[in-house]
Amino acid sequence: MPLKIDKPDAEWRETLTPEQYRVTREKGTEPPFSGDYQVTDEHGIYHCVCCNAPLFENEHKFDAGCGWPSFDRPMTPSCVEEHFDTSHGMRRTEVTCARCSAHLGHVFPDGPRDTTGLRYCINSVALDFHAGE
């Protein structure tokens, strides 16, 4: 289990853009198809924009056509946490960073059947890509 990071709200506001703060700290969602990360063959790892924890490998990213980066699994089961979410009148599973509790997105059971069957639908503004890792 990663060491937890718990910063005062003012510190998060100092280090994040307004959109990053809204999504990761206030459980927001970026508009679909607005993100920066396309599916590529480039090797690398997506890190949490808040605490730099490694979360997802580019090799496990796929085009779900939903408008957000989608992965079939996190790097390790312990790098993310899942929480039952009933916001917006829906029943979903929220995904947060295990280290700093940043809201990342949601996980759904409609991913690729030839792998995990899961689709981690993640806000690109919550991620920072490190190429070559």
CATH of the domain at 101: 2.170.150.20
DSSP code, position 15: H
Q: What is the pTM of this model?
A: 0.92
63 falls within a domain: yes
For 6-33, what is each residue's pLDDT tens digit?
899 999 999 999 999 999 999 999 999 9
Supply the range of the domain harboring residue 83. 9-131
Q: Any catalytic annotation for residue 121?
A: yes
Contact 82, 94 (CB under 8 A): yes
81 falls within a domain: yes
Phi, psi of 59 (to 5 degrees): -65, -20
2 falls within a domain: no
Helix ranges (DSSP H) in the chain: 9-15, 18-24
Annotated binding site: 48, 51, 97, 100
How confident is the model at residue 92, as a pLDDT?
87
For 67-101, what is each residue's pLDDT tens digit?
899 999 999 999 999 998 878 787 889 999 999 99
Annotated binding site for Zn(2+): 48, 51, 97, 100
26 falls within a domain: yes
86 falls within a domain: yes
96 falls within a domain: yes
* Residues belonging to the chain: 133
> Domains in the chain: how many in total?
1
4 falls within a domain: no
3 falls within a domain: no
Counting residues of the chain whose pLDDT is more than 70, the rounded percentage is 96
How confident is the model at residue 2, as a pLDDT?
59
Given 50, 66, 79, 121, which residue is catalytic? 121
